[in-house]
Structure 1
Amino acid sequence: MASLPPSSAAAQPTGLDAGIGRIPVMAAGPVVDADRFPASCAEGESVRITANAFREGHDAMGVQVVLRDPEGNATRQSLVSTNPGLDLWETRIRPRVTGHWQFTIEAFGDVYATWAHVAEVKIPAEIDVDLVIAEGAEVLGRVLAEIESGERPASDGPVVRAAIDALRNHALSPSARVAPALAADLRAILAARPLREGVTSDGPHELVVHRRLALFGSWYEFFPRSIGARFSAEDGGWRSGTLRSAAGELDRVAAMGFDVAYLTPVHPIGETFRKGRNNTLDPRPGDPGSPYAIGGAEGGHDAIHPDLGTMEDFEAFVGRAHDLGLEVALDVALQCSPDHPWVKEHPEWFVVRPDGTIAYAENPPKKYQDIYPLSFDTDYEGLYAAIRDVLEGWVERGVTLFRIDNPHTKPVRFWQELLAEFDEKHPEVIFLAEAFTRPTMMHTLGKVGFHQSYTYFTWRHTPEELEEYLLELVDSAPYMTPSFWPTTHDILTPFMSQGGRPAFRLRAILAATLVPTWGVYSGYELVEDVPRPGAEEQIDNEKYEYRPRDFAGALQRGQSLEPLLTQLNLIRREHPALQTLTEIVFHEADDPQVVVFSKHLPGSQTDSGRADTVIVVSLTRYDEGTGSTIHLDTGALDVEGSFEVEDLLTGERFTWDENPFVILSPTDRPAHVLRVVRSEE
């Protein structure tokens, strides 16, 4: 990528005032809703810049992108014509600094390329020889003038002068006179810095570059009160785990290779209408209630539940996480129990029904009598300031990620304003939208600033469903980064509850390899798969009770999926191809229950400079194995003929061609996760 200043001809802006431009640029990307919202990416991510540009007639043209970083420094890079028949152009950029960038597409007439084509045709045919040579001298004279004015590097001078001298040397044959002007060294100079005329610009367009964790990371969710919880025979009740005991869980989370320790709400829980086990309305003494029924006599969203400890204990938890290389995500549920201080202090922040009572949350037929939703219609500014201040307080205590519960039940305007303020003040903070709702709402939340979003992966199972959904997510990549979770504390699908250990293994492999960000809910490694009758959630749901687990014992007995989760996270870290979303390509299999996909990054898009290619061949059923021929698009893998692959799950190596045969078993080998072994290794 070349630094500015550019070569000749100032760009002419397009638009209503400027008309269509001398050389039209009809489309550019990534652009979101005609620049109503900025496109986004992560630092170091390979971003595809595209344009649809053309000109009349047959003269040569070129397209460049001018990329301006947050400090205002500009560089220029050429686009390549990828489909001349459709006038499509593209290139790749890798912004390595976070912040607000801009890019502008410039289309132009390529004066030298036009002349070079004419010379290659007419000189051998002895047509207009003297005129063509004179035109070449004039074109290169313009290049020389730019060198002498400082618009081009002085190092270009010797090559350009030698070509001009040859063109003017009448003692040489015509072919010898033009040869230096058509030579590879001069072509390279004018390909890197074209001689431009009739420049038309499209933009600038905004590109927000987030930190790497916004694109690529592994989350581990747990309820801190369950870590260290114990039943006391002395008083016949439970003793809650604390933030101090929960800090001990961080070593295991870090050892499994997770990047984020995600905590469900840690705030005081209301007593009024407190829910009992399995969401009943008759809690027993000692039932802890739902941590999503936030607020009590001890405080609200800015307080720590006294059973968990103190704010100092929370800060110690965060400090321990940071020592282990983990970041802390906090669940934010913008709702209140009837006992929340806001209910008395700010009744205008809630919906009051005609009978004078405050409306509780409902998602018919579900009722949440222990939760009051917030209303933004009466005192928007006051409620906005209160929520902002709550989040600011947790950021001050070391929280760098927020998982927002049900953001689709709040005004989109609120999120747009709040996330813009945090982007300005705390650009390091990442927001994950837990929005299982209509696609338009999910997409709009991404457009207004959410860095990541939960998805419908949990309910997509067949190869056709997975391919269709992934291609949809690729299309929305400029504004929405998906996060794949096989289960959550609220969701246990029939596939998972009926499939047992094979289903849990299978879906972990797919979630970890299909997209760059994935997560699991504590207990996943123990295959907790018993549903509550009539609901797609676990029985004895941890939202309503303590749930201590014997992770160490299960691991010793060989009953834990912890080794698989650890292995998947290691594979993801070692292979940059798996740290991308947009590079996915689906391949064919004879068996309709087998999904095959690959991700490939050429060396120009990796930090090591080495190409990285990963192929995943996976069952999508938990109850039936298969033997199947698969059909690979070897062009997408950047291989020819036979090639070697290594299974990253088993260490086995195989020699494959474009139609290998695979044998898969739900119990022994649910999937291959393979890297292509390159000859230079």
Structure 2
Amino acid sequence: MNDWWRGSVTYQVYPRSFQDSNGDGIGDLKGITERLRYIASLGVDAVWLSPIFTSPMADMGYDVSDYTDIDPLFGTLEDFDRFVAKAHEFGLKVVIDQVLSHSSDQHPFFVESRKDRENPKADWYVWADAQSDGTPPNNWSSVFGGSAWEWDGHRKQYYLHNFLSSQPDFNFHNKEVQDWLLDTMRFWLDRGVDGFRLDTVNFYFHDAKLRKNPARKGEPQVNPYEMQLHKFSKTRPENLDFLARMRELTDEYGASMVGEVGDSTRAVEIMAEYTSGDKHLHQAYSFDMLGPEFTPKHFRQKIETFFKKAPDGWPTWAFSNHDVIRHLTRWEEHGADQDSLAKLAAAMLLSFPGSVCLYQGEELGQTETELEFAELTDPPGIRFWPDYKGRDGCRTPMVWDANGNTSGGFSEGRPWLPVKPPQLARNVAAQEAQSDSVLHFYRHMLEFRAERVELHGRGPAHFYNRPNPVLMFQREGLICAFNLGTEAVDTNLPPEGQGGILVGPSQTAELNGRELKLGPNGFAFVDVA
């Protein structure tokens, strides 16, 4: 079985913000291709590109108007082919985003669908009549705020959109829709793609009866979407049959699927269901470690729950991505200093059982960019400002050096989002020249992970009970210990821990027999006797 994805480390590139090659202030495929040597130097296995398809960019490419072409902002199909070829030369697998649950309202199929109720694409999207008083068919809400239903005066019906009103949902109950979407995936597989990151993978099917979602108990939220239990608007049982069709296709090519499971109440359970056995997803990408929680209990609970519910399933863990506040900012209060927290986070993430996804700039210890309202481009940030500032703060450009203009080597023009001084200070060139930098530690930790099959193999984690703030577990022949606090702690290894410290700056850990002293944000990896 071709299971290159199992235990892999993927580096996520946000194309608009990685490297601009033509001076328009927006990153592109040629720029990413120029930087592939850097990505490969980290020691990762794959590179994931966030959406690059043709799009009006209402949601930065997550509103696709052509599923088989490259948006001119990023280049051409020929540029993409050169990128894939170069990535493969460096030994990197290529993973691309697939936004299948919805399209742009400018997609030709939706333009046709809204013309009338009889055309060939009339049933390709989710249409429903108004209630007798003209209100929407039910209470389903949009992730981006407001109702998930938009009235179309020409067709005289509502259409479903789980996100922006310009992102109408496909009707997956129509098998023609499924067939067509699978064909678009085959198009990219034939061009050499090694895998797909599936956006909102549990949003594909809706309840055909349009039943009302129940309320979620709790206090009012900034975004009312979190005030419902989304029992009928997503995570429907029919999803599994379509995932099985996707699995059959990708297995034909030896490719992998990692699905983004969006759910704030039971994401781990859905991840387990979607990856159990060998008929659905290869991996599921979790948001469970993308929040403010930073305790041994939290990390242990998420990992143990997943493997309890899906012993043969496979998770992908991440601490940061293009949708959330960068983890060094979220967890700032738990850091002895920025570098120590960054190194601790890397050591933890790269030792968890499963696969791992790193987000660009994470290896530099980058923090969230503080933006003014006038600098925002993200729709939910603009809508809910200032209580929610949106996702632009984690999407600002990659910083390559601190010389020349203020773009940090990203572009010769004005970047689409600004590069602020705190981010400029943490640039690749400076960290390359500093032997104890966060960048060099990521390389060191990735090399260690690759050398130790315990860290990337199938073996689960066995957790030990230790008082806060210590997280300790065993991965077969290796004991992994972490101090999630800002003060030094003394703990003890289990009897089987008899080796020496293998990874960890010398000032962060000290071992005397089985007595282990961990400095602030300290960590250690110890061989089992």
TM over 0.5, yes or no? yes
Instruction: Kindly provide the CA deviation profile for residues 603-662 of structure 1, in whole angstroms up to 9, marking residues without a partner as x.
Output: xxxxxxxxxx222211123xx12221224142xx5xxxxx331332347997654x4131
Asked if the contact 1:645/1:674 (under 8 Å) is kept, the reply is yes
Percent identity between the two aligned chains: 19
Which residue number in structure 1 is paired with residue 232 of structure 2?
A: none
Report the equivalent of 1:90. Answer: none
Secondary structure of the residue that 1:566 maps to in structure 2? helix
1:570 aligns with 2:447: yes
> Cα 1:553–1:654, aligned 2, differ >3 Å: closer, same or farther?
closer
Q: Partners of 1:530 and 1:496 in 2: how far apart?
A: 15
CA positional deviation for 1:664: 1.4
1:326 to 72, 88, 92: 92
CA distance 1:314–1:361, shift in 2 (3 Å): farther
**Offset, 1:365:** 2.9
Q: 1:503 aligns with which of 338, 341, 350?
A: 341
1:292 aligns with 2:62: yes
Bigger fraction of residues in strand: 1
Say whether 1:339 aligns with 2:119: no
Alpha-carbon separation, structure 2, partners of 1:505 and 1:583: 23
Aligned residue among 638, 644, 649 for 2:504:
649
Give the equivalent residue in structure 1 for 2:194: 400
Give the number of aligned pairs. Answer: 414
Residue correspondence of structure 1 range 143-222 to structure 2 within 5 A: 211-222=2-13
What residue identity is the alignment partner of 1:665? P
Equivalent runs, 1:174-573 vs 2, <5 Å: 211-229=2-20, 238-270=24-56, 274=58, 290-295=60-65, 300-334=66-100, 335-345=102-112, 346-352=121-127, 354=129, 362-363=142-143, 365=145, 368-377=164-173, 380-411=174-205, 412-422=239-249, 425-426=252-253, 428-437=254-263, 438=266, 439-447=268-276, 448-455=279-286, 456-459=288-291, 461-492=294-325, 495-496=330-331, 498=333, 499=335, 500-526=338-364, 527-530=366-369, 533-535=386-388, 538-542=391-395, 545=416, 551-556=427-432, 558=434, 561-573=438-450
SS of the aligned residue for 2:27 comes to coil
CA contact (8 A) 1:587 1:633 kept: no
Query: Is contact 1:617–1:671 with CA below 8 Å preserved after alignment?
Result: yes
2:35 partner amino acid: E
Equivalent pair of 2:296/2:484 in contact (CA under 8 Å): yes
8 Å CA contact retained: 1:435, 1:442: yes
Letter of the 2:245 counterpart? L
Q: Residues 357 and 483 (structure 1 numbering): CA distance in 2 closer, same or farther, change over 3 Å? A: same
Match of 1:149 in 2: none
Deviation (angstroms), 1:414: 4.5
Q: Which amino acid aligns with 1:496?
A: W
- Structure 1 stretches lacking a partner, 5+ long: 1-97, 99-210, 233-237, 275-288, 601-612, 638-642
Say which SS state the counterpart of residue 505 (structure 1) adopts: helix
Contact 2:501 2:524 in 1 (8 A): no
In structure 2, what is the Cα distance between the partners aligned to 1:673 and 1:644?
9
Letter in 2 for 1:458: L
Runs of at least 5 residues in structure 2 that lack an aligned partner in the other structure? 113-120, 147-162, 206-238, 371-380, 398-415
The 1:537–1:566 alpha-carbon spacing in structure 2 relative to 1, beyond 3 Å, is farther
Larger Rg: 1
- Computed over aligned residues only, the root mean square deviation of the Cα atoms, in angstroms, reads 3.2
Cα distance in structure 2, aligned partners of 1:253 and 1:537 = 27
Cα pair 2:455 2:475 within 8 Å, conserved: yes
Q: Quote the Cα distance in structure 1 between the aligned partners of 2:418 and 2:96.
A: 19
TM-score normalised over the length of structure 2: 0.70
Letter in 1 for 2:62: Y
Aligned residue for 1:368, secondary structure, equals coil
* TM value normalised by structure 1: 0.55
| CA gap 1:542/1:651 in 2 versus in 1, 3 angstroms | closer
What is the distance in 2 between the residues matched to 1:543 and 1:654?
38
Matches of 1:327 and 1:386 in 2, distance apart? 25
Contact 1:229-1:547 within 8 A present in 2 as well: no
SS at match of 1:214: coil
Aligned counterparts of 2:339 and 2:495: Cα–Cα separation in 1: 32
- The higher relative CO (CA closer than 8 Å, separation ≥ 6) is in 2
Q: What's the secondary structure of 2:245's corresponding residue? A: helix
Q: Could you say if the C-alpha distance between residues 594 and 347 of structure 1 is closer, same or farther in structure 2, counting changes exceeding 3 Å?
A: same
Cα drift, residue 674 of structure 1:
3.1
SS of structure 1 residue aligned to 2:478: strand
1:212, distance to aligned residue in structure 2 (A)? 3.4
Q: How many angstroms does 1:440 deviate by? A: 3.9
Residues 221 and 261 in structure 1, CA contact (< 8 A), matched pair in contact too: yes
d(CA) in 2 for partners of 1:472, 1:264 = 29
State the distance in 1 between where 2:107 and 2:136 align: 13
1:198-251 deviation digits (Å, cap 9, x = unpaired): xxxxxxxxxxxxx3323211110012232333896xxxxx44332122101211
Q: Distance in 1 between matches of 2:105 and 2:44?
A: 36
**Pairwise CA distance, 1:547:** 6.9
Alpha-carbon contact 1:477-1:582 (below 8 Å) kept: no
